Structure 1
Amino acid sequence: METTHSNTNALEGKTIALIAYLTILGLIIAFIMNAEKKNAFAKFHIIQSFGLALTGLALGLLNYIPYLGWLINLIGVCILLYMWIMGLMNAINEKTKPVPLMGEFYIKWFNNI
Protein backbone atom coordinates (compact mmCIF):
# COMPACT_ATOMS: atom_id res chain seq x y z
CA MET A 1 0.00 0.00 0.00
CA GLU A 2 2.84 2.44 0.84
CA THR A 3 4.65 1.79 -2.43
CA THR A 4 1.55 2.82 -4.34
CA HIS A 5 1.41 6.04 -2.34
CA SER A 6 5.07 6.84 -2.97
CA ASN A 7 4.69 6.00 -6.67
CA THR A 8 1.65 8.27 -6.84
CA ASN A 9 3.58 10.99 -5.01
CA ALA A 10 6.52 10.61 -7.41
CA LEU A 11 4.19 10.69 -10.42
CA GLU A 12 2.46 13.85 -9.13
CA GLY A 13 5.84 15.49 -8.56
CA LYS A 14 7.01 14.57 -12.06
CA THR A 15 3.79 15.86 -13.60
CA ILE A 16 4.04 19.17 -11.76
CA ALA A 17 7.73 19.44 -12.69
CA LEU A 18 6.95 18.91 -16.38
CA ILE A 19 4.12 21.45 -16.31
CA ALA A 20 6.53 24.01 -14.80
CA TYR A 21 8.62 23.99 -17.99
CA LEU A 22 5.65 24.63 -20.28
CA THR A 23 5.49 28.43 -20.70
CA ILE A 24 4.94 31.02 -17.99
CA LEU A 25 1.32 29.91 -17.59
CA GLY A 26 2.53 26.35 -16.93
CA LEU A 27 4.95 27.68 -14.33
CA ILE A 28 2.12 29.50 -12.54
CA ILE A 29 -0.11 26.41 -12.68
CA ALA A 30 2.72 24.21 -11.34
CA PHE A 31 3.35 26.68 -8.51
CA ILE A 32 -0.34 26.60 -7.54
CA MET A 33 -0.53 22.80 -7.83
CA ASN A 34 2.51 22.37 -5.59
CA ALA A 35 1.38 24.93 -3.00
CA GLU A 36 -0.59 22.36 -0.99
CA LYS A 37 1.29 19.19 -1.96
CA LYS A 38 4.80 20.55 -1.20
CA ASN A 39 6.55 17.96 -3.37
CA ALA A 40 10.33 18.50 -3.15
CA PHE A 41 11.00 17.23 -6.69
CA ALA A 42 8.38 19.55 -8.15
CA LYS A 43 9.69 22.48 -6.07
CA PHE A 44 13.21 21.94 -7.41
CA HIS A 45 12.01 22.11 -11.02
CA ILE A 46 9.67 25.03 -10.33
CA ILE A 47 12.68 26.96 -9.03
CA GLN A 48 14.73 26.03 -12.10
CA SER A 49 11.92 27.02 -14.46
CA PHE A 50 11.32 30.28 -12.59
CA GLY A 51 15.00 31.14 -12.92
CA LEU A 52 14.92 30.37 -16.63
CA ALA A 53 11.85 32.58 -17.05
CA LEU A 54 13.50 35.52 -15.28
CA THR A 55 16.67 35.02 -17.33
CA GLY A 56 14.55 35.07 -20.48
CA LEU A 57 12.89 38.29 -19.32
CA ALA A 58 16.30 39.89 -18.73
CA LEU A 59 17.43 38.80 -22.18
CA GLY A 60 14.27 40.28 -23.65
CA LEU A 61 15.07 43.63 -22.07
CA LEU A 62 18.54 43.54 -23.64
CA ASN A 63 16.83 43.34 -27.01
CA TYR A 64 16.01 47.06 -26.72
CA ILE A 65 19.69 47.98 -26.97
CA PRO A 66 20.55 48.36 -30.66
CA TYR A 67 23.11 46.02 -32.23
CA LEU A 68 25.08 44.83 -29.18
CA GLY A 69 21.89 44.08 -27.25
CA TRP A 70 20.49 42.20 -30.21
CA LEU A 71 23.65 40.11 -30.51
CA ILE A 72 23.72 39.33 -26.78
CA ASN A 73 20.00 38.49 -26.93
CA LEU A 74 20.49 36.12 -29.87
CA ILE A 75 23.36 34.27 -28.21
CA GLY A 76 21.57 34.31 -24.84
CA VAL A 77 18.36 32.88 -26.26
CA CYS A 78 20.29 29.98 -27.83
CA ILE A 79 21.97 29.27 -24.48
CA LEU A 80 18.65 29.66 -22.67
CA LEU A 81 17.01 27.17 -25.04
CA TYR A 82 19.78 24.67 -24.28
CA MET A 83 19.32 25.22 -20.53
CA TRP A 84 15.53 24.81 -20.86
CA ILE A 85 15.94 21.53 -22.78
CA MET A 86 18.35 20.21 -20.15
CA GLY A 87 15.94 21.14 -17.34
CA LEU A 88 13.03 19.49 -19.13
CA MET A 89 15.09 16.35 -19.78
CA ASN A 90 16.09 16.22 -16.10
CA ALA A 91 12.41 16.44 -15.11
CA ILE A 92 11.48 13.70 -17.57
CA ASN A 93 14.29 11.48 -16.26
CA GLU A 94 13.34 12.28 -12.64
CA LYS A 95 16.70 13.91 -11.83
CA THR A 96 17.25 16.86 -9.51
CA LYS A 97 20.25 18.14 -11.43
CA PRO A 98 20.48 21.94 -11.83
CA VAL A 99 20.35 23.39 -15.32
CA PRO A 100 23.78 24.21 -16.78
CA LEU A 101 25.45 27.55 -16.04
CA MET A 102 22.82 29.21 -13.83
CA GLY A 103 21.04 26.33 -12.05
CA GLU A 104 23.09 26.55 -8.85
CA PHE A 105 22.38 30.29 -8.65
CA TYR A 106 18.65 29.70 -9.12
CA ILE A 107 18.69 27.31 -6.16
CA LYS A 108 20.42 29.88 -3.94
CA TRP A 109 18.35 32.84 -5.06
CA PHE A 110 14.86 31.30 -5.18
CA ASN A 111 14.98 28.57 -2.55
CA ASN A 112 12.33 30.37 -0.45
CA ILE A 113 9.66 30.03 -3.12
Structure 2
Amino acid sequence: MNDIEQEKSDIEKGKITAITSYILIVGILIALSMNAESKNKFASFHIKQALGLNLTFISIGLLISNFSNMQIYISFWVFFTVLWVFGILSAIKGENKAIPIVGNLYQKLFKSF
Protein backbone atom coordinates (compact mmCIF):
# COMPACT_ATOMS: atom_id res chain seq x y z
CA MET A 1 0.00 0.00 0.00
CA ASN A 2 1.51 3.34 -1.00
CA ASP A 3 1.37 6.57 1.00
CA ILE A 4 -1.67 7.99 -0.80
CA GLU A 5 -3.70 4.81 -0.30
CA GLN A 6 -2.62 4.68 3.36
CA GLU A 7 -3.68 8.29 3.87
CA LYS A 8 -7.09 7.65 2.27
CA SER A 9 -7.50 4.59 4.48
CA ASP A 10 -6.63 6.62 7.60
CA ILE A 11 -9.14 9.30 6.62
CA GLU A 12 -11.94 6.77 6.14
CA LYS A 13 -11.13 5.05 9.45
CA GLY A 14 -11.00 8.34 11.36
CA LYS A 15 -13.90 10.18 9.71
CA ILE A 16 -16.59 9.21 12.25
CA THR A 17 -14.30 10.14 15.15
CA ALA A 18 -13.44 13.46 13.49
CA ILE A 19 -17.09 14.36 12.91
CA THR A 20 -18.01 13.31 16.46
CA SER A 21 -15.41 15.71 17.89
CA TYR A 22 -17.41 18.72 16.68
CA ILE A 23 -20.47 17.82 18.79
CA LEU A 24 -19.85 20.14 21.73
CA ILE A 25 -17.57 19.17 24.62
CA VAL A 26 -19.22 15.75 24.98
CA GLY A 27 -18.27 14.95 21.38
CA ILE A 28 -14.64 15.79 22.08
CA LEU A 29 -14.58 13.44 25.07
CA ILE A 30 -16.20 10.66 23.04
CA ALA A 31 -13.82 11.27 20.12
CA LEU A 32 -10.81 11.19 22.46
CA SER A 33 -11.87 7.81 23.81
CA MET A 34 -12.63 6.51 20.28
CA ASN A 35 -9.16 7.59 19.14
CA ALA A 36 -7.27 6.46 22.25
CA GLU A 37 -6.08 3.15 20.83
CA SER A 38 -5.82 3.80 17.10
CA LYS A 39 -4.21 7.27 17.27
CA ASN A 40 -5.59 8.11 13.83
CA LYS A 41 -3.86 11.25 12.49
CA PHE A 42 -6.94 12.53 10.68
CA ALA A 43 -9.14 12.16 13.76
CA SER A 44 -6.45 13.70 15.99
CA PHE A 45 -6.24 16.74 13.70
CA HIS A 46 -9.98 17.37 13.99
CA ILE A 47 -10.10 16.63 17.72
CA LYS A 48 -7.50 19.39 18.23
CA GLN A 49 -9.50 21.76 16.04
CA ALA A 50 -12.76 21.04 17.87
CA LEU A 51 -11.14 21.25 21.31
CA GLY A 52 -9.59 24.61 20.52
CA LEU A 53 -12.81 25.92 19.02
CA ASN A 54 -14.85 24.87 22.06
CA LEU A 55 -12.37 26.30 24.57
CA THR A 56 -12.22 29.57 22.64
CA PHE A 57 -16.02 29.66 22.46
CA ILE A 58 -16.34 29.20 26.22
CA SER A 59 -13.59 31.71 27.03
CA ILE A 60 -14.91 34.46 24.80
CA GLY A 61 -18.49 33.63 25.81
CA LEU A 62 -17.61 34.19 29.45
CA LEU A 63 -15.89 37.44 28.55
CA ILE A 64 -18.77 38.88 26.53
CA SER A 65 -21.39 37.76 29.03
CA ASN A 66 -20.52 40.91 30.96
CA PHE A 67 -21.94 43.05 28.15
CA SER A 68 -25.60 43.58 27.39
CA ASN A 69 -25.25 44.42 23.73
CA MET A 70 -27.22 42.30 21.27
CA GLN A 71 -24.83 43.16 18.41
CA ILE A 72 -21.94 41.59 20.33
CA TYR A 73 -23.94 38.44 21.05
CA ILE A 74 -25.11 38.04 17.46
CA SER A 75 -21.59 38.64 16.09
CA PHE A 76 -20.21 36.10 18.54
CA TRP A 77 -22.71 33.41 17.55
CA VAL A 78 -22.35 34.03 13.81
CA PHE A 79 -18.54 33.96 14.02
CA PHE A 80 -18.42 30.66 15.92
CA THR A 81 -21.17 29.08 13.84
CA VAL A 82 -19.20 29.80 10.66
CA LEU A 83 -16.01 28.34 12.18
CA TRP A 84 -17.87 25.27 13.45
CA VAL A 85 -19.51 24.66 10.06
CA PHE A 86 -16.13 25.05 8.35
CA GLY A 87 -14.58 22.48 10.70
CA ILE A 88 -17.31 19.89 10.47
CA LEU A 89 -17.58 20.19 6.68
CA SER A 90 -13.82 19.72 6.45
CA ALA A 91 -14.14 16.53 8.52
CA ILE A 92 -17.06 15.26 6.42
CA LYS A 93 -15.13 15.89 3.19
CA GLY A 94 -12.05 14.12 4.57
CA GLU A 95 -9.84 17.21 4.49
CA ASN A 96 -7.23 18.37 6.96
CA LYS A 97 -8.05 22.07 6.62
CA ALA A 98 -7.32 24.16 9.68
CA ILE A 99 -10.12 26.39 10.93
CA PRO A 100 -9.51 29.94 9.62
CA ILE A 101 -7.71 32.42 11.87
CA VAL A 102 -7.09 30.07 14.83
CA GLY A 103 -6.76 26.53 13.49
CA ASN A 104 -2.97 26.49 13.16
CA LEU A 105 -2.65 27.81 16.71
CA TYR A 106 -4.84 24.95 17.97
CA GLN A 107 -2.58 22.41 16.24
CA LYS A 108 0.47 23.88 17.99
CA LEU A 109 -1.19 24.20 21.41
CA PHE A 110 -2.58 20.66 21.44
CA LYS A 111 0.21 18.78 19.68
CA SER A 112 0.46 16.32 22.59
CA PHE A 113 -3.05 14.98 21.85
Give a deviation string over 1:62-113, Cα, whole Å, max 9, x none.
2331236x64443222111101000001001100010111101111111112
CA RMSD of aligned residues (A): 2.1
Over the matched positions of the two proteins, sequence identity in percent amounts to 35
**Structure 2: stretches of 5+ with no match in the other structure:** none
SS of alignment partner, residue 35 of structure 1: coil
Give the equivalent residue in structure 1 for 2:21: 20
When normalised by structure 1's length, the TM-score is 0.84
When normalised by structure 2's length, the TM-score is 0.84
Question: Does the 8 A contact of 2:12 with 2:94 survive in 1?
Answer: no
Question: Does the 8 A contact of 1:59 with 1:73 survive in 2?
Answer: no
Tell me by how many angstroms 1:8 deviates: 5.9
Tell me by how many angstroms 1:32 deviates: 0.7
Q: Between Structure 1 and Structure 2, how many residues are aligned?
A: 110
Structure 1 residue ranges (4+ consecutive) displaced by more than 2 angstroms after TM superposition = 6-12, 70-74
**Structure 1: stretches of 5+ with no match in the other structure:** none
| 1:51 to 2:52 alignment | yes
Tell me which amino acid in the other structure corresponds to 1:38: K
Q: How does 1:1-113 map to 2 (within 5 A)?
A: 9-67=10-68, 71-113=71-113
Tell me by how many angstroms 1:26 deviates: 1.1
SS of alignment partner, residue 61 of structure 1: helix
